[in-house]
Amino acid sequence: MLRFLPAPFRILVNFLWGALATTVIGITVILLGIVKFIVPIPVAQRFISRLANTAFRGWAYSVSAMFRISYPVKWYIEGDIPDDRDGWFMILCNHQSWVDIVALMHLSRKNLPMPRFFLKQQLFWVPIIGVGCWVLDMPFMKRYSKEQIAKNPELKGKDIETTREKCEKFRHIPTTVINFCEGTRFTPIKHKQKGSPYKHLLTPKAGGTSFTLQAMGNQFQEVLDITLVYPDRQTDKPIVLDLLAGRLQSVYVYIDRIPVTDDLRGDYFNDPEFRDHFQGWLNSRWELKDKRIEEVLNRK
């Protein structure tokens, strides 16, 4: 532990640790991806994909250490994570910070198949990380504004088509699909601009979540609805700085394991009745999340 060091030094050490782990394992994944591209044998490619996933799990263990380097973060977890690395799961999670990714890696590193995130297209150009995520078959989503779609109607549904293509790849290797349903990180400014009905959350977007369940619902064993709360955060600073500086002392986690029943699978885009039902179901999950976050924050 580095509690004896001033905060700037703790930030530097944690940052260098995360950067080193990401660089070493990212390059390893990229090299495996090159071999996978060169060797056009399906059996060999699947084997290489598993090696890349093993390296990715190593990254999860590495970044998980960031919760201990400066200060031993206490985890308060209600519910449990399934113990099945060979299964298929979908995680729904609120999104406040880049720390969410590290937290989900910490939670899934032992017992779940390695997660796949839906990423913004711009992240592909981040050195090492972008190509590494591409090798791991993470879907890069390009969002189009209403104005862009109005000018070019053929752009409508492109993100859903990307989801469809990636879901086909997910069928061939055990996967945990992580969906930050709000579509972006929560900030007070975004909360006000979007007119969210929740106090601590943005309004969830149901389309992509529903489509993934429709495409892979028979394969998913459970939906894991995870709520992350950081009660020690300093509201005027990013949560990631609190983690790096060792000010993040506790993380509260709520895990609800939800079976994938027939009422969660349907044609969201062409069945108005199902669309209303699914949006209502997702909104009810978000109402529960909002209540839990409020309860944790009120304990301070």
203 versus 50: the higher-pLDDT residue is 203
d(CA 161, CA 189): 31
* pLDDT > 90? residue 89: yes
Measure the CA dihedral 176/181/183/189, to 10°. Answer: -130
pLDDT, average across residues 61-73: 89
Q: How confident is the model at residue 96, as a pLDDT? A: 92
Q: Determine what percent of the chain is predicted with pLDDT higher than 70.
A: 86
* pLDDT > 90? residue 47: no
Q: How confident is the model at residue 215, as a pLDDT? A: 75
- Assign 142 a pLDDT band (cuts: 50, 70, 90): low
* pLDDT > 90? residue 6: no
Q: Domain map of the chain by residue range?
A: 73-298
pLDDT, average across residues 233-247: 83
- Give burial (CB, 10 Å; 0-12/13-18/19+) of 248: buried
Q: How confident is the model at residue 63, as a pLDDT? A: 92
pLDDT, average across residues 55-75: 91
- pLDDT tens digit string along 196-219? 999 999 999 888 888 888 877 678
* pLDDT > 70? residue 158: no
Q: Contact, 224 vs 91, CB < 8 A?
A: yes
Q: What CATH number belongs to 73-298?
A: 3.40.1130
* pLDDT > 90? residue 293: yes
* pLDDT > 90? residue 287: yes
Q: How confident is the model at residue 161, as a pLDDT? A: 65
What is the average pLDDT value for the chain, to the nearest integer? 85
Q: How confident is the model at residue 234, as a pLDDT? A: 67
